[in-house]
Structure 1
Amino acid sequence: MTDANEITHALRLWFQAGDVFEVRVLDAVSADYRREHIESGYFDYEHISAVPEALKRLLSFRGVYVTVNPVNPDLLARAVNRLRPAGRNPTTADTDIVRRRWLLIDCDPRRASGVSSSNAEHESALAKAREIRDGLSSLGWPDPIMTDSGNGAQLMYRIDLPADDGELVRRVIGEIAKASSEQVAIDTSVHNPARIWRLPGTMNCKGDSIPERPHRMARILDEPQDIVSVSREQMQDIVSYQSEDTQTDVPDDDWKHTMPAFDLDSWIAQYCPELGSPQPWKGGRKWIFPVCPFNEAHTNKSAVLIQEPSGAVAFKCHHNGCSGNDWRALRELREPGCYDRREEANSDVDLSGILKPNRIEKQEKEAPLFPNPGPVPDKLLSIPGFIDDVVKLSMQSAPYPNRVLSFTGALALLAFLVGRKVQDKRDNRSNIYLIALADSGTGKDHPRKVNFNIAFRAGVAGAIGDAFASGEGLEDALFMHPSMLFQADEFDCIFNTLKYSKDNRAESINEKLLKFYGASNTIYPLRKKASAKKKDGTVHEIAHIVNPNLVLLGTAIPQYFYESLSRRVLENGLVARCIIVEAGKRGEAGNPQPITPSDSLIRAATYLANLDVNGNLTNEYPKPLIITETPEATAALREVQQECDRRYNFYEAQNEGAAKALWARAHEKVCKLAMLHGISGNVYNPLITEKSVRWAWKFIDHLTQRMLYMADRYVYENIFDEKCQRAIRKLQEHGGRLPHSKLLRLLHESADSMKKIAETLQEKGTVQVEYDSSVRPAAKIYRLVE
């Protein structure tokens, strides 16, 4: 049994115009050749559709494979776009490969040979593949093609290397294979250029098919929208340290860190005396353990301690069972409590843990507590379908196109259009609060214009507002239009009211925003003094709103927004419910065009705005459409929930209230965004897929970490603490070093105030004072202590 569409789709993903590849069929039986044998043939890209036709000629087979790296085009003459018994005819050799196109990772469940995997074994292999994919993604690798091989799971990463790559591919696969477990093995033999790979759309038939171990069809589970190559540098980055005795690899310079010297010799003499004297190793030194300190069964000198010329320290045991044991683990094993002492925690370098499913574990163990993840990656600013169409329109018509602003605007528009009409099976609704941070002149107003233009053509522009002066005014507006989009500039003013208020009146808007957010799937009671009127002016007896759907698209200048924050604001709950994205610098001037949505975009927007929901009183009591999700999406959301809970618990133990508040709401945001991703992909038949969840998690994970990093820089306990932090930021912005006179001018402080700030920072060990003796009198200079 074969699936012609799946076969041709896979081959067009793997190859490009001009490529030639071999198809090899194992244990084939045909009408002309009744004994099991190997069939082989060569096909070019232009005749990919001939492959499923050629397979139909066979009566049966055990497996169909393809050389995924393109072969010498001359080999096409061996069997032109057809299959024939291989017999004594040659098949593709490594020397026949033109260039390496793919890095292959094969996750195979451990089981008896010659049989198919059970359902549990099959699922464990799929889970392992996702773990590896997410681990590599956290290192900046692009998304791979993920395939269900029928028995296990396979990942394909696009590369561009010569056939003779100096064994880089072999070493990379060997490093990744250390993620093998007792249940799943990563095949280390798939590194040769002419490696054949199971063809999706064909059956995997090992042994007999029985209910406990059925035959399954190989199929592509996930593929990136744009296939991006892994760079040579990225591959080299995960090839960790390699010792001549242990075949262990050393990471390149990008993974090394310069830190104060650590007296490794004294530490070894005290805590690992069995190591004895070191051996020379690539300009540094190495010590080989006679017995692994973590597993006494590892007696084959598989464990090694290395110190590089820079002083960097690393530990590794070659056995898979020790894959998580690094230098830090060794120190904690032999020197319990060593990392409880801060001065020692920063005195050595841990080079291990290159391939971890989640980098947060490393971040949690090392200072700073809130690392900077940098700007949001461009690949996260794209959702196929409706949102990308709106982004394209916004970018084409903007005087200064900015993808972040265009993307957040498109997200807000979609969330508004489906308000009160859709939900996921957890009863999450589409109400989201988005805040886009951008400097003046970046073009913050343009996405608002695009949204209004589309909403006007879809007949719902009346439900878009641009400001609300009070919580009561917001309440009245939502009573008139239960689903609304507010697009407001200078959104930091809302947080400033809470930050500086001394009574409850200033908290009115914050309170209403919080209540409306939580009431999206229930009934919101209006205040008693509300003038409950219909649009025609008649009095409405029901003083409540069913499922109010408020979507916010707020914009603000980054500095003003972050300065509006305080612990009170962060822990109040409103910030935790917001999705905050930084737009960066203003882009280059574009070639603006009129905002003219395409017919298909208007048709989709109108369809969503008028989406039919069940019930006789849909305006008052809507019954939203429940967006379907795949089993893989359900499982992925469960994993996200567990990870968010883990981070919440970690920061709760650290007594970090702001971090705890943000991670408490992260899973909810992922659910909402995954639903919008599924709707965008096909507005007429939406589906939440694993890809939807993966995108939503990466997006929220990045933004949450960025928010915590910025809050850590800007949030203060009191006014004087704010002045100290401003001084630190100014020093950071100027390379960590400023003369007293210049820092004084930048802070706009009096001499007395500046003196108190400097003394406080010196007492904390944050700043050191130096003197430039080349001038008279000697100039005082402040330098940040790293």
Structure 2
Amino acid sequence: MARPSRADLRHNQRSRRSSRCRKCGAVLMAPSFRSADAEAFLSTLDQIHLVAIGPNERVSGYDFGNDLSAALNWAERENAEANIYWTVNSVRPRLNGKPRKGDIRAARFVHVDIDPPKTGGAFDKDAIIAAMEDLRTPPSFVIDSGGGLQAFWRLDGPALNLASIETINLQVRDFFEADACQNIDRLMRVPGSVNWPDARKKARGRVPSLAKLARDDDGTVYSPEELAAAFPPPKERPAQSSAKGPVSLPPLVSYKTPDDLGLSGLDPIRLAIEEPPGNDRSGDGLAVARLMANAGHDDATIMGVLLNPANRVSGHFLDQRDPKRAAARAIATVRADGPQEGETLGPPPGHQYFQIEQLIANINRRNGTSVPQPAATVISAPSRDPSWLHDLGGGLRMFVDHVTSTAPSPQPWLTLGAALAMYGAVAGRRYAGPTNLRTNVYSIGIADSGGGKDHPLRSTAKLMIAAGLAAHVGGSKIASGSGLISAVTAQPSILFPIDEIGFLISAAADRRRSPKHVTEILDNLTEFYSMADSTFLGTEYANKTEKPREVIEQPCLCLFGVTTPAAFWSSLSSSNVMDGSLARMLIFRSDNDYPNPRHEIDAVDFPADLVAHVQAVSQGADGHTAFPLGEGAVQRPKPYQVPYRDQAAALRARAMREEQTAMLRKHQGTAITSIIARLAENASKVALIKAICDNPASPSISTADLDWGYLVASQSVETLMRAVREHVSDSDAEAKLKRLHRIIADAGSAGIEHELLCKQARFYGSRRQLQEGLDFLCEGGSIRVDTIKRSDITGGRAKRIYYDID
């Protein structure tokens, strides 16, 4: 190959030193090497070893010892084309080239490399540095590499135990959820040098930039023991070992399908393999591995399923550089908290999963109440008296007690819905359940006008403001889908207290008549609900410079809205029932629209212990840092994982999902399956919030928490199911028919006479149409009519009385 001429080299150098403006196309000059900045930094090192990595991965490196002048001249010359790095730790003398681990003689620093999120979006470096400053052991200095941030903790002397320093690097890396750069022979960017992006980074819009000190070196030093104690232990490396021992990797993978496992068509394992949700492919793979491990399948069988291209769940693993290793990590992860190979995690001998009716009856029996179980009802409504309040304590109980005691028209059931949404927002991004479930809930309080629903609505915002959490309170109205995204971007853990939410749902669900910016509200609410444990990536726009997409890590949007029955029932449609948007909401229908009023109520401030409790939840679990890089939207939080209190609680959680599956199979093909499908999830979320409110410092989920959460969620499901049967229709004729049926059903066992029915059913417009509706209901077996002849003395037409028999 011919050697390039000096003119070619100068042309290449000019090409690298310039770029074009993405708006106007003008040529922009790249920054140049800043010798003064490099000198100020390199002069602090007791040994200067530099490495240049240029085009085509050309690598050169030299040990300059203490010769600062020679190091600067070499760095400036090489930086015309190559990226310049310094070796973090001391190397063997006169090492020329890029060091390896065997070349490291002593450690000088603990370090971490934090790159911008690969999902795109803003990268708030100032917020990250400010968060580092709040650490008990802030870094000695921070370098802005031109892309990400590199933080360093200077050791109080040369550390010869390199393995221990690399372990501390791993602790810091896991704490910040940073890149895999914990190796002891790490190279880092020299401040004052130009960061030349490679072709891959250029394609993502990166341009040449200057590395610099983002936080000056303050001379702080730390002992390795001090740093090891300041950060949590490193996460277990599941690819190597787990609490249950190493994964048994087969030398050859034998592909398996659900048919090979003998799974039925509706078996949960088959569904997880063939129809994974797809929002989090890594999570889908873990779910299959966990289900199969719990069912007693060995590692080789699980790996055969995860790597089989014929199975949809294999997509995540086959996209990895080493699919077999990725599958092994997933299996090891579930083995760490599940059964050993060959075991089955199932119910103990003699255990029978509760049926829903039996479950609620057992809970009510413990509360000293007894509720009849109507045979035709899928879910039996819990007692309408406040028996659910008997098992309630902690912050939820304090909020409900205070708000109802200060309400002109107390509505404890609606107040509970407000409390769950408020605490869900306060705990947002700070806590996660055992299965990574989050605290984001949508609660809807329903009561008639003048029934007292506004007091709990206003109390949520007032309490959060009193606790210093005003920034976490969203607006009382949502005008558009983009406005909703902007609010969550500004505050990723947020509560929206919304009055008359029934009208909002009705407008957002009407895709034929409502503008797009309104219908996007319901779409975005639905998406945010499912993205609480992952990354919301927003919308891609053509002009990415002026309008980049919004990226929000683990958004926790909570909502408490109140509405009247008429407004909410009218918002129901077959579309928002089938797409599951309504099923995500917890419905709190008042059992008494007009409770006994309270008089002469004085304005009372929130009790100090209630305010302190809200603040305690907002601070998260004791000893756990949920936001190592700050609380911004693009910073990825590390929520405290709330465990099950014992094995009985874990089994109870499984039982709830089994009960849900049984109900789905029973109602397969009907419109209410989308409502039932959220039962176990909502119950688990309610149980998680209750556990956090009971003990914010160190919560754990008990069997009682899960039973109580299931009771709350099942009443919501029962309310929605009844509403769908009575109110949802796809045509005006069906709506009129259901309205007619409700009039007869509301008359109760006494029935309703034909004359009175005609007055209340004038919406039919004519007697003929009304009679056709009555005939349809009679023939369908929904109502019956009794004809009573008049006495001979009175004469006249026979009296007709209609009764509901559904």
TM-score, reference length from structure 2: 0.51
AA partner of residue 565 (structure 2): P
The 1:683/1:134 distance shift into structure 2, 3 A limit, reads farther
Contact residue 376 and residue 703 of structure 1 kept, 8 A = no
Residues 609-629 of structure 1 deviation map (CA, whole Å, 9 limit, x = unaligned): 243414223432211111122
What CA distance in whole angstroms lies between the structure 1 residues aligned with 2:527 and 2:786?
A: 50
AA partner of residue 511 (structure 1): D
1:428 to 418, 434, 437: 437
Q: Could you say which residue in structure 2 is the equivalent of 1:596?
A: 605
Is 1:495 paired with 2:510?
A: no
Aligned ranges for residues 196-235 of structure 1 at < 5 Å?
Answer: 229=368
AA partner of residue 503 (structure 2): C
AA partner of residue 549 (structure 1): C
Q: Could you say which residue in structure 1 is the equivalent of 2:535?
A: 523
Q: Could you say which residue in structure 1 is the equivalent of 2:667?
A: 651
Contact residue 510 and residue 519 of structure 2 kept, 8 A = no
Q: Could you say which residue in structure 1 is the equivalent of 2:469?
A: 460
Q: Could you say which residue in structure 2 is the equivalent of 1:627?
A: 642
What CA distance in whole angstroms lies between the structure 1 residues aligned with 2:522 and 2:789?
A: 50
> Aligned-pair distance for 1:377?
5.1
Residues 350-395 of structure 1 deviation map (CA, whole Å, 9 limit, x = unaligned): xxxxxxxxx7xxx7xx5x3657636645222453101101111101
Aligned ranges for residues 529-548 of structure 1 at < 5 Å?
Answer: 543-548=550-555
SS in 2 for 1:608: helix
> Aligned-pair distance for 1:552?
0.8
What CA distance in whole angstroms lies between the structure 1 residues aligned with 2:519 and 2:717?
A: 24
SS in 1 for 2:688: helix
The 1:135/1:528 distance shift into structure 2, 3 A limit, reads closer
Q: Could you say which residue in structure 2 is the equivalent of 1:784?
A: 803
> Aligned-pair distance for 1:409?
1.3
SS in 1 for 2:663: helix
2:776 to 737, 752, 760: 760
1:663 to 676, 692, 695: 676
Contact residue 540 and residue 548 of structure 2 kept, 8 A = no
Contact residue 394 and residue 406 of structure 1 kept, 8 A = yes
Is 1:684 paired with 2:692?
A: no
Q: Could you say which residue in structure 1 is the equivalent of 2:712?
A: 699
Residues 24-45 of structure 1 deviation map (CA, whole Å, 9 limit, x = unaligned): xxxxxxxxxxxxxxxxxxxxxx
> Aligned-pair distance for 1:741?
3.0
SS in 2 for 1:497: helix
Aligned ranges for residues 141-156 of structure 1 at < 5 Å?
Answer: 141-143=364-366
Is 1:581 paired with 2:597?
A: no
SS in 2 for 1:142: helix
Residues 98-145 of structure 1 deviation map (CA, whole Å, 9 limit, x = unaligned): xxxxxxxxxxxxxxxxxxxxx99x9847947x96999475267432xx
Q: Could you say which residue in structure 2 is the equivalent of 1:477?
A: 487
Contact residue 633 and residue 693 of structure 1 kept, 8 A = yes
What CA distance in whole angstroms lies between the structure 1 residues aligned with 2:490 and 2:543?
A: 11
The 1:136/1:637 distance shift into structure 2, 3 A limit, reads closer
What CA distance in whole angstroms lies between the structure 2 residues aligned with 1:593 and 1:687?
A: 38
What CA distance in whole angstroms lies between the structure 1 residues aligned with 2:355 and 2:664?
A: 24
Q: Could you say which residue in structure 1 is the equivalent of 2:128?
A: none
SS in 2 for 1:493: helix
Identity %: 21
SS in 2 for 1:783: strand
What CA distance in whole angstroms lies between the structure 2 residues aligned with 1:134 and 1:650?
A: 15
AA partner of residue 570 (structure 2): E
SS in 2 for 1:551: strand
Contact residue 569 and residue 575 of structure 1 kept, 8 A = yes
What CA distance in whole angstroms lies between the structure 1 residues aligned with 2:577 and 2:548?
A: 38
2:742 to 729, 736, 758: 729
User: Which one has a bigger Cα radius of gyration?
Assistant: 2
Is 1:373 paired with 2:381?
A: yes
Residues 191-214 of structure 1 deviation map (CA, whole Å, 9 limit, x = unaligned): xxxxxxxxxxxxxxxxxxxxxxxx
Contact residue 572 and residue 724 of structure 2 kept, 8 A = yes
Aligned ranges for residues 298-309 of structure 1 at < 5 Å?
Answer: none
Aligned ranges for residues 195-594 of structure 1 at < 5 Å?
Answer: 229=368, 368=376, 370=378, 373=381, 376=384, 378-381=386-389, 383-464=392-473, 465-497=475-507, 500-502=510-512, 505=516, 507-528=519-540, 543-585=550-592, 586-591=594-599, 592-594=601-603
Contact residue 739 and residue 779 of structure 1 kept, 8 A = no
The 1:530/1:606 distance shift into structure 2, 3 A limit, reads farther
Number of residue equivalences: 444
AA partner of residue 739 (structure 1): E
Contact residue 453 and residue 595 of structure 1 kept, 8 A = no
What CA distance in whole angstroms lies between the structure 2 residues aligned with 1:717 and 1:635?
A: 41
Q: Could you say which residue in structure 1 is the equivalent of 2:310?
A: none
TM-score, reference length from structure 1: 0.52
Residues 750-769 of structure 1 deviation map (CA, whole Å, 9 limit, x = unaligned): 22432332333344343426
What CA distance in whole angstroms lies between the structure 2 residues aligned with 1:547 and 1:628?
A: 19
Q: CA RMSD in A?
A: 3.4
Contact residue 787 and residue 800 of structure 2 kept, 8 A = yes
SS in 2 for 1:588: coil
Residues 216-241 of structure 1 deviation map (CA, whole Å, 9 limit, x = unaligned): xxxxxxxxxxxx557xxx6xx9xxxx
What CA distance in whole angstroms lies between the structure 2 residues aligned with 1:682 and 1:614?
A: 20
SS in 1 for 2:582: helix
Q: Could you say which residue in structure 2 is the equivalent of 1:279?
A: none
AA partner of residue 753 (structure 2): P
AA partner of residue 510 (structure 1): L
What CA distance in whole angstroms lies between the structure 2 residues aligned with 1:447 and 1:704?
A: 22
The unaligned stretches of length 5 or more in structure 1 are: 1-118, 144-227, 238-253, 255-358, 534-538
The 1:526/1:502 distance shift into structure 2, 3 A limit, reads same
What CA distance in whole angstroms lies between the structure 1 residues aligned with 2:710 and 2:744?
A: 34
> Aligned-pair distance for 1:517?
0.8
Contact residue 460 and residue 497 of structure 2 kept, 8 A = no
What CA distance in whole angstroms lies between the structure 1 residues aligned with 2:544 and 2:461?
A: 27
